[in-house]
Structure 1
Amino acid sequence: MAKKRKKQEDKIAKVNKLQEYKNGRKWFWWEGNVLVFNILGKPSSKVTKIGKPLRNQLRISVASAPINGKATDYLVKFLAGEFGVKVKDIEVVFGRMNVNKQLKVTNPKKLPSVFK
């Protein structure tokens, strides 16, 4: 009886993983009035722009070289304009010197279309 239940649970878990894959993974969420999201950065691009989600990250291209965190600083300034907030309202949770980042935006006044 326990083996049969275990098989059913495994089957349900596989279906849930498949649905998660098809629907796209969760790359942003809200913690009260704070928007939290994961980024896959692309420094030294020709244009700074917000791309499309890729698995559990949002792709963002930045027209700044990745030297001593300058690309991250440039990214934060760009996103402050996109969200209608001040630079101090955006926190880099992790990834300041990495292409994989997590950011928190407190009280965003507007949302880019990819978040809707």
Structure 2
Amino acid sequence: MTQSRFYRWDEGALILSCHLQPKASKDEISGLHADSVKIRITAPPIEGRANAHLIKYLAKLFGVPKSDVTIISGELGRAKRVRIENPSRLPDTLPIERD
């Protein structure tokens, strides 16, 4: 089974490459952007608010507590890698297959 380049599995955790668009009109996954998932969020990129909002949004989307979502790289930029521990659900909007 081949995996798309925007995600990979690491012992039950999902590693997701994201391209963030802060200050959007609504929170949504708006498709793929190169080798990343484009995620639009309403929070502004000020004082870590966008990162906190992204964690909250992804936790809700994948059915995990916020403590199970970690930004592992790209804290200060739009391109981020996020680790989601044992997601209980996968959003229909993303072509992700279980490992």
| TM-score normalised by L of structure 2 | 0.88
Are 2:15 and 1:42 equivalent residues in the alignment? no
- The structure with higher relative contact order (CA 8 Å, sep 6+) is 2
1:95, 1:115 → 2: CA distance? Answer: 23
Q: CA RMSD in A?
A: 1.0
Q: Tell me if the contact between 1:49 and 1:62 (Cα under 8 Å) persists in the aligned partners.
A: yes
1:69, 1:95 → 2: CA distance? Answer: 12
Residue ranges of structure 1 left out of the alignment (5+ in a row):
1-24
1:67, 1:97 → 2: CA distance? Answer: 10
Q: Once the 2 structures are TM-superposed, how far is the Cα of residue 115 of structure 1 from its aligned partner?
A: 3.4
Per the alignment, residue 82 of structure 2 pairs with 103
Query: Over residues 67-111 of structure 1, what are the superposed CA-to-partner deviations in whole Å (9 max), with x where a residue is unaligned?
Result: 011111001101100010000101100111211100000010001
| TM-score normalised by L of structure 1 | 0.76
Larger radius of gyration: 1
Determine what percentage of the aligned residue pairs are the same residue. 25
Q: Tell me if the contact between 1:68 and 1:97 (Cα under 8 Å) persists in the aligned partners.
A: no
Are 2:41 and 1:57 equivalent residues in the alignment? no
1:39, 1:51 → 2: CA distance? Answer: 11
- Classify the secondary structure of the residue corresponding to 2:67: helix
Match of 1:112 among 76, 81, 91: 91
Number of residue pairs matched? 92
Query: Over residues 17-70 of structure 1, what are the superposed CA-to-partner deviations in whole Å (9 max), with x where a residue is unaligned?
Result: xxxxxxxx6110101101001000000001010111122110000101100111
Per the alignment, residue 50 of structure 2 pairs with 71
- Classify the secondary structure of the residue corresponding to 2:47: coil
Could you list the structure 1 runs, at least 4 aligned residues long, displaced by more than 3 angstroms after superposition.
none
